[in-house]
Amino acid sequence: MAGRPRVAVFRPDDERLTDAVETLDELGVEAVADPMLAVEPTGSVPEPGDWIVFTSKTGVELAAAEGWSPAAARPGDAGNRPALACIGPSTADAADAVGWTVDLIPDEYSSTGLVAALRAVGVDGARVEVARSDHGSPVLLDGLRDAGARVHETVLYELVRPAGSGDAADAAAAGDLDGACFTSSLTVDHFLDAAAERGVREEALAGLNDAVVGCIGHPTRETAEGHGVAVDVVPAEATFRTLAESVVAELDA
């Protein structure tokens, strides 16, 4: 097992991190697990709408835990539930697991793709409720408003940096990191914040730029490049597996 490339992963410390570590192991690399996101629920639930949009598995699970469901989203209007849109298959699978019917999944698993899909089915004049974290991209809200929708956002949870994070920053600073998989702009920000907290920000940046850096989606890429990180790969499909496969393929190139 010794001598395998070391690739950092920053997913929350739950089954997502477990799955990411297993994926990297299957691909023949050693995962440097350094969670950069922790979830703090707000206790809020989605407000009524013609469409309810979920952008993450976490959002679905938290809304369900609060007793919310699409069927209850229009009190007194039984049988006329709102339509449900999910940004990708993992979010849709979570909705299916709690018994909700998903009406739309975009071909492109991103805010841009979701806007395009909703525009295609027609949301002009519709009330669209977006239920997500406190760090959601403005691309989704702005795009829906441009499509004529009346948009409301409910923050279901806040994303914070876990105490003690930053082992991957130390590894990068020491030149001991071969790759990194960033799954959101916030993971980039938190990685650099952790590096700064440990006094190795410039060294960690240099280490990243000697490694293969992969990002899910162009907003994440733009954030990384804005901080001076050279991004090597952005997979066409916005899933962790395709991100990991792209990074490992680049390592092997």
The interaxial angle of helices 15-26 and 240-252, nearest 10 deg, is: 30
Helix (H), strand (E) at residue 143: helix 138-146
- The reported pLDDT for the residue numbered 239 is 87
pLDDT in tens, the chain (253 residues): 357 999 999 999 998 999 999 999 999 999 999 999 999 999 999 999 999 999 999 999 999 999 999 986 554 454 578 999 999 898 999 999 999 999 999 998 888 899 999 999 999 999 999 999 998 889 999 999 999 999 999 999 999 999 999 999 999 999 999 999 999 999 999 999 999 999 999 999 999 999 999 999 888 999 999 999 999 999 988 889 999 999 999 998 7
Other beta carbons less than 10 A from residue 123's beta carbon? 23
User: Which pLDDT value is given to residue 137?
Assistant: 84
3-state helix, strand, coil in the chain (%, to 5): 40, 20, 40
91: its two tokens: 């979010």
pLDDT of residue 109: 83
Q: Which two tokens stand for residue 63?
A: 């809304």
Q: Measured between alpha carbons, how far is 10 from 27 in angstroms, rounded to an integer?
A: 17
Name, in order, each residue with C-beta under 8 angstroms of 179's C-beta and a sequence gap of 6 or more: 5, 6, 7, 8, 29, 211, 212, 213, 214, 247, 248, 250, 251
Say whether 106 sits in a helix, a strand or coil.
Answer: coil
Q: Residue 134 — φ and ψ, nearest 5°?
A: -80, 0
Query: What radius of gyration, in Å, describes the C-alpha atoms of the chain?
Result: 19
Beta bridge mates, 6:
30
Q: Answer yes or no: are the C-beta atoms of 169 and 204 closer than 8 Å.
A: yes
Q: Which helix (H) or strand (E) holds 54?
A: strand 51-54
pTM of the model: 0.77
Q: How far apart are CA 29 and CA 109, in angstroms?
A: 26
Alpha-carbon torsion, ordered 160, 166, 169, 175, to 10 deg: -160
pLDDT of residue 72: 67
pLDDT tens sequence across 73-88: 554 454 578 999 999 8
Dihedral in degrees, nearest 10, Cα atoms 44, 50, 51, 52: 10
**Cβ neighbours, 10 Å, residue 76:** 5
What per-residue confidence (pLDDT) applies to 110? 84
What is the pairing mode between strands 150-160 and 179-182? unpaired
